[in-house]
Amino acid sequence: MFQILNEEGKVVNEAAMPELSDEQLQEMMRRMVYTRIWDQRAISLNRQGRLGFYAPVSGQEASMLGSQYALDKEDWILPGYRDMPQMVFHGFPLYKAFLYSRGHYEGGRFPEGVNVLMPQIIIGAQIVQTAGVALGLKRKGKKNVAITYTGDGGASQGDFYEGMNFAGAFQAPAIFVVQNNRFAISVPVEKQSAAKTIAQKAVAAGIEGIQVDGMDILAVYAATSQARERAINEGVPTLIETMCYRYGPHTMAGDDPTRYRTSDLDDEWEKKDPLVRFRKFLEGKDLWTEDMENEMVDKAKEDIKEAIKQADAAPKQKVTDLIEFMYEELPHNLQEQMEEYKAKESK
Ligand SMILES: Cc1ncc(C[n+]2csc(CCOP(=O)(O)OP(=O)(O)O)c2C)c(N)n1
Ligand SMILES: [Mg+2]
């Protein structure tokens, strides 16, 4: 497993240390603090009935943000449902993330220049799509990659093998990130596959594979940067397995992690916490203070308040909107429903 910072925040692999300025290192920490606060707020807003679908991210910040930080703005992200932080830091407005959670169509409309596709709910489907997007980038002569995210469960899907195989065969500049948070809802990774690692699945596709400490933001960043260079310059895709954990439930829809996880396992992973580790590292270099942390916490809270206000101000969804967006020309049965709902909505 590729690691740069150990659990105590000590550099254990100096040779692999990426070249990052002090300001960049601080920015990575700020983003993790921001995301942790956002996650906590999203969970409580969901409990208050003010958000809809939400998949918690605490424990996966280094995996998510370290990989996104290695990207160029022109790279394409094909996320799964849990990957809101990468989307937002790639330019997707926070209020739209909240609208997505509410199932509002504005949450599925991406501003021009924000190279992010809709989060995929069908497990593994984004892997095949990523091979296609990456090939498209190559054909257009762009020096960019398509990166996708799935979970350990996603790595058991047929689409996973198909997408990696295609990208390998066509030398498409793709990066496949599997965030191995140990569980697919309640099913432990050991029950999903006899493979020792998920990273080794790259071998059969003829692409690069690396298992990374997903609680170590520097390792995730370095592995993704290298994968990006390799993809663009050599046409070699990479599978990155990030070893991480989600502290919360699978989603806020009601699974109870205490029924499939032990508190010992939770404790073991909390000791590896990505924020604690990176904070220690930065403090050792005099690059992080309590004031900086508090400033970021306040900023996150303020942004969230604003974003919720903005989401609340979005137009109320109508059934006719949904019918209208579906087709350029409505089939006769929907035409009839359109008339029916137009009449109802005008009352
Ligand atoms: C094709 C398909 N099968 C089943 C489901 C139901 N489902 C939703 S999430 C999930 C588990 C996914 O686990 P994993 O890939 O490890 O991602 P994680 O949620 O842990 O990030 C399943 C089986 C689905 N959405 N799509
Ligand atoms: Mg999982």
| d(CA 184, ligand 1 centre) in Å | 6
Side-chain half-sphere CA neighbours of 31 within 13 A: 24
Does ligand 1 have an atom closer than 6 angstroms to the CB of 184? yes
What's the helix, strand, coil split of the chain in %, to 5?
A: 50, 10, 35
Exposure string for 307-328, b = 16+ CB within 10 A, e = fewer: bbebbeebeeeeebeebeeeee
Name the residue range of residue 307's domain: 14-314
Q: For the chain, how big is the Rg over CA atoms in Å?
A: 21
| Cβ–Cβ under 8 Å, residues 51 and 45 | yes
Residue 335 and residue 211 share a domain: no
Side-chain half-sphere CA neighbours of 225 within 13 A: 15
| d(CA 119, ligand 1 centre) in Å | 13
- Over its length of 347 residues, how does the chain's per-residue pLDDT go in tens digits? 999 999 999 999 999 999 999 999 999 999 999 999 999 999 999 999 999 999 999 999 999 999 999 999 999 999 999 999 999 999 999 999 999 999 999 999 999 999 999 999 999 999 999 999 999 999 999 999 999 999 999 999 999 999 999 999 999 999 999 999 999 999 999 999 999 999 999 999 999 999 999 999 999 999 999 999 999 999 999 999 999 999 999 999 989 999 999 999 999 999 999 999 999 999 999 999 999 999 999 999 999 999 999 999 999 999 999 898 878 899 999 999 999 999 999 98
- CA–CA separation, 74 and 78 (whole Å): 13
Q: Which two tokens stand for residue 27?
A: 């920015």
- Measured from the CA of 152, which atom of ligand 1 is nearest? 16
Query: Sign of torsion, CA 100 103 106 109?
Result: positive
Residue 99 and residue 48 share a domain: yes
Q: Which two tokens stand for residue 87?
A: 């989307």
187-188 and 183-184 beta bridge pairing: antiparallel
Residue 321 and residue 282 share a domain: no
Closest residue by CA, ligand 1 atom 3: 123
Residue 7 within a domain: no
Residue 249 CA: which ligand is closest?
1
- CA–CA separation, 282 and 288 (whole Å): 5
User: Quick count: other Cβ atoms within 10 Å of Cβ 282?
Assistant: 19
Q: Total structural domains in the chain?
A: 2
Residue 2 within a domain: no
Residue 321 and residue 237 share a domain: no
Residues in Cβ contact with 331 at an 8 Å cutoff, skipping those fewer than 6 apart: none
Residue 1 within a domain: no
Residue 6 within a domain: no
Which CATH number do you get for residue 256?
A: 3.40.50.970
Residue 111 within a domain: yes
| Cβ–Cβ under 8 Å, residues 3 and 210 | no
Residue 41 host element (H or E) = helix 22-47
Residue 8 within a domain: no
- Mutation to probe ligand 1, out of 185, 192, 241 (largest number of atoms < 8 A from CB): 185
Residue 229 within a domain: yes
Residue 280 and residue 162 share a domain: yes
- CA–CA separation, 16 and 183 (whole Å): 29
Residue 9 within a domain: no
Distances in Å between the Cα of 8 and the Cα atoms of 11, 30, 275 are: 9, 19, 11
Residue 261 and residue 337 share a domain: no
